[in-house]
Amino acid sequence: MKIAIAGTGYVGLVTGVCLAEHGHTVVCVDVDKEKVERMRQGISPIYEKGLDELMKKNQDRLSFTTDFSGAYRDAEVIFIGVGTPEKRDGSANLKYVYEVAEQIAASVEQDCVVVIKSTVPIGTNDKLEVFLREHLIHSVNIFVASNPEFLAQGTAVRDTLYPSRIVIGTEMKAVEEVLMRVYEGFDAPVLVTNRKSAEMIKYASNDFLALKISYINEIANLCELVGADIEDVAAGMGYDERIGSKFLHAGIGYGGSCFPKDTKALHWLANFHDYEMKTVKAAIEVNDHQKLRLIKKARKYYKELKGLTVAVLGLTFKPGTDDLREAPSLVNIPILLDEECRIQAWDPVGEEKFQERFPEGIEYYETPEEALEKADLCLIFTEWNEVKTLSPQCYQTHMRHPIVLDGRNCYRPEIFQGTDVIYDSVGRGACGKE
């Protein structure tokens, strides 16, 4: 099929590349000329495992352009995968979705299906279909379907090629049949429902996972107070099939492009309808507090942080991506800068984007060991493999005062017993040198 993709962020680009891998002819549209030119050369604008290789492999079926009119004119299916960032009040900003919809309405010259991949508030698909039909230039039929994505950054290609489920939200059998043709060859269960239910499935799924993360972080904080080990507690919980072991890894909170904005958007939507989702509200509040957990721990070891040399290992919100959105580092490093700390940072892929936000005040290093040199304190924000393989001896050798505050529980605490390192993680208490 001939498919057009609006937007080349995580959702749009990965969707387009994976659909090309399944044999469709795909054109991806973006407004950034420089970005488009790089993608034409097979260079992905985002760090995602396997994406560059698939772009090059499918270059005969995959193209990139800024010419939205030419891309949408004769497309059978148009996917909208642009961002829906949060507004100041927490609601979803649909500006980019409607900008694309206006371009589509002005361009299409044959019947087509517009598929909303972007995460949008419940009811948006219905409104968008009305908007498109009201703004059509040519006399054609246009239909809107909801098809939410369930990819995770760092595993986006795998999640798209081998999805846990395919959700199709439509009010028409003919539209369902078009989407079934798009996903022919994908080995995944397919759920067909109405558009509002499909939109809600996306929010309900993401917010449930956010709830699970915030819950285990609350349990972890209590474990520290009563002397329990959160790793053992989570393992014991995970054996229960009703609970499951995934998303029970305690740490310093969730980040990224989905959970923070989707929890706020659903909370805002409920308030708009004069209803309060207390569980979602609590998850948001817990996560905001959890991100500062390491700073609070640091103040146990130093009455004043001013003037300390602080090693920061990991800047991105999770390993396997260069995405900084809602990363704990963005909350903690400004506090350290205000305290006039000397910050020695390391991240294998996030440095360039972090420097754009913080062009001054931070020294960046090529290896974790270099970042640790003569540090008074180490804060671990991202569980990169390069961090997880560091030995206690490494911290002891390189740091001036080996105090390691681990926000991702990268190590078993007992390996620091008998060393000169103070190791303090989440939900397990401190160990090492008294």
Q: What is the CATH number of domain 2-193?
A: 3.40.50.720
In the chain, the percentage of residues whose pLDDT exceeds 70 is 100
Cα distance between residue 129 and residue 196, in whole Å: 13
Among the CATH numbers 3.30.830.10, 3.30.70.260, 3.40.50.300, 1.10.1040.10, which is that of 202-289? Answer: 1.10.1040.10
Hunting for tokens 């892929």 — which residue is that?
A: 349
Q: What would the pLDDT profile of 356-365 be if each residue is shown by its tens digit?
A: 999 899 999 9
Cα distance between residue 386 and residue 313, in whole Å: 10
Q: What is the pLDDT of residue 257?
A: 83
Residue 152 has pLDDT above 70, yes or no: yes
The ranges of the chain annotated as CATH 3.40.50.720 are 2-193, 291-432
Q: Annotate 69-136 with DSSP letters as a single string.
A: HHHHTT-SEEEE-----B-TTS-B--HHHHHHHHHHHHH--S-EEEEE-S---TTHHHHHHHHHHHH-
Cα distance between residue 248 and residue 260, in whole Å: 17
As given in the structure block, the two tokens for residue 73 are 């004119």
Hunting for tokens 């990169």 — which residue is that?
A: 384
Degrees to nearest 5, angle at CA 76 with 103 and 51: 85
Q: What would the pLDDT profile of 402-418 be if each residue is shown by its tens digit?
A: 999 999 999 999 999 99
Q: What is the pLDDT of residue 70?
A: 96
| Rounded mean pLDDT, 338-345 | 97
Q: How confident is the model at residue 433 (pLDDT cuts 50, 70, 90)?
A: confident
Residue 90 has pLDDT above 70, yes or no: yes
| Rounded mean pLDDT, 291-319 | 96
As given in the structure block, the two tokens for residue 104 are 């589509």
What mean pLDDT, rounded, does the chain reach?
A: 95
As given in the structure block, the two tokens for residue 6 are 């609006």
Q: What would the pLDDT profile of 160-201 be if each residue is shown by its tens digit?
A: 999 999 999 999 999 999 999 999 999 999 999 999 999 999
The ranges of the chain annotated as CATH 1.10.1040.10 are 202-289
- CB burial of 246-260 (b: ≥16 within 10 Å; e: otherwise) equals ebbbbbbbbbbbbbb
Q: What is the pLDDT of residue 136?
A: 97
Q: Annotate 390-426 with DSSP letters as a single string.
A: --HHHHHHH-SS-EEEETT--S-GGGGTTSS-EEE-S
**Helix-then-strand count for the chain, H and E:** 18, 15
**Residue positions annotated with a catalytic role:** 258
| Rounded mean pLDDT, 12-36 | 96
Q: What phi, psi does 296 have (nearest 5°)?
A: -65, -40
Q: What phi, psi does 55 have (nearest 5°)?
A: -60, -45
Q: What is the CATH number of domain 291-432?
A: 3.40.50.720
Q: What would the pLDDT profile of 192-238 be if each residue is shown by its tens digit?
A: 999 999 999 999 999 999 999 999 999 999 999 999 999 999 999 99
CB-CB contact of 92 with 84 (8 Å): yes
Q: What is the pLDDT of residue 50?
A: 92
Q: How far is CA 117 from CA 120, 285, 303, 429, in A?
A: 9, 28, 49, 43
Q: CA torsion sign, 163 to 164 to 170 to 172?
A: positive
DSSP state of 289: H
Q: pTM of this prediction?
A: 0.92
Residue 434 has pLDDT above 70, yes or no: no
Cross-strand pairs, 167? 191
Residues contacting residue 37 through CB under 8 Å, at least 6 positions apart: none
Q: How far is CA 90 from CA 83, 204, 260, 273, 366, in A?
A: 15, 16, 10, 15, 37
CB-CB contact of 426 with 217 (8 Å): yes
Cα distance between residue 274 and residue 265, in whole Å: 14
CB-CB contact of 409 with 426 (8 Å): yes
Residue 350 has pLDDT above 70, yes or no: yes
Degrees to nearest 5, angle at CA 385 with 223 and 215: 30
Q: How confident is the model at residue 93 (pLDDT cuts 50, 70, 90)?
A: very high
Hunting for tokens 């087509």 — which residue is that?
A: 112
Residues contacting residue 278 through CB under 8 Å, at least 6 positions apart: none
Cross-strand pairs, 311? 344, 378
As given in the structure block, the two tokens for residue 119 are 């995460």
Nearest to 19 by CA among 125, 126, 166: 166
Q: What is the pLDDT of residue 239?
A: 97
Amino acid identity of 23? G
| Rounded mean pLDDT, 322-346 | 96
Q: What is the pLDDT of residue 153?
A: 87
Cα distance between residue 271 and residue 265, in whole Å: 10
